[in-house]
Amino acid sequence: MRKPWLWIAGLAGVAVIAVVAWFAGEWIATQIVTSTVRQQVIEQLALPADQQVDVTVQEPVIPQLVKGSIDAITVSSPDVPIESFSGDVTVHATGVPIRGDGDVQSATATVSMDQKQLQGLLSTVDGFPADSVGLADPNVTMSKDVSFLGASIPLGIGLTPSAKNGELVLTPDYVKVGGAQLSAADVERRFGTAADAVLHDYPVCIAKYLPVGMKLAHVAVTGDQLVAHFDIDGAIIHDKTLQQKGTCA
């Protein structure tokens, strides 16, 4: 499993160049820090050597190296493989100890997925019609055939994404039948329990792909992407229990 939190740990290798950077000057110091972090990310996440990894460090850098922590850093990379799917990942952290011997003051991560990337994630959910999945702000959309009075009826379903107990949950918002669109509430009133095959939540376990110290906090469709925001426990940089993969109930 490639863990975005390890991007923060990549800063541990920066300490050894602090003295050299002081004499080299601010510009060179910044280049050394960003290139060191980039290399650590590629190595620890086992990414291709030519993987695009962008690193931005708050300047000036030299005083931060002297005091032993980076005030603010942002690391981002597109199309990062996460087991059977991928996403565009950005990690932002503040107060990062460069020797890895203390807590990070704060850290968050964002994983953005386009339609193809989201289909990859949802293909891991048993019975979910992942190939039919699309994105139509603010909903995830899918197509599904249901049996009613002996006939197979094709439906278009709009799903609202949310974060619940560390899981991504897709909740029906509307249903399209032919040229008509009905709200989920209308469908339930008209068809009662017969609509249960459609009007139920679709939980997607995210925690099993991530360390315990990384929690899904918010998710929404923005434009043509599903954007998931994660909170990262500052102790994850040194606490091995927080580095273990999570589970879903």
How many percent of the chain have pLDDT more than 90? 48
What is the pLDDT averaged over residues 22-42?
Answer: 82
- pLDDT of residue 10 exceeding 60, the answer is no
* Position 29 in a domain: yes
Diameter of the chain by CA atoms? 80
Query: What per-residue confidence (pLDDT) applies to 154?
Result: 86
158 shares its domain with 196: yes
First to last CA, the chain: 20
59 shares its domain with 87: yes
59 phi and psi angles, rounded to 5 deg: -105, 160
* Position 227 in a domain: no
Check residues 242 and 23 and name the one with the higher pLDDT: 242
Say how far apart CA 184 and CA 18 lie, in whole Å. Answer: 59
Query: What per-residue confidence (pLDDT) applies to 6?
Result: 58
| Cβ-Cβ contacts under 8 Å for 104 (sequence gap 6 or more) | 8, 93, 94, 95, 96, 97, 232, 234, 235, 236, 237
13 shares its domain with 98: yes
93 shares its domain with 127: no
Say how far apart CA 149 and CA 197 lie, in whole Å. Answer: 14
End residue of a domain, out of 93, 113, 133 = 113
What is the pLDDT averaged over residues 18-34?
Answer: 72
Say how far apart CA 114 and CA 244 lie, in whole Å. Answer: 27
* Position 141 in a domain: yes
What is the pLDDT averaged over residues 206-221?
Answer: 92
- pLDDT of residue 218 exceeding 90, the answer is yes
Where residue 153 falls among pLDDT bands split at 50, 70, 90? confident
- Residue 78 belongs to domain spanning: 6-113
End residue of a domain, out of 204, 219, 243 = 204
Q: What is the number of structural domains in the chain? A: 2
End residue of a domain, out of 72, 92, 113 = 113
- pLDDT of residue 150 exceeding 70, the answer is no
Q: Look at 51-65, 126-140, 154-168, 181-195 and tell me which has the smallest mean pLDDT.
A: 181-195
Query: What per-residue confidence (pLDDT) applies to 1?
Result: 47
* Position 239 in a domain: no
Q: What is the DSSP letter of 60?
A: P
142 shares its domain with 82: no
Say how far apart CA 104 and CA 98 lie, in whole Å. Answer: 10
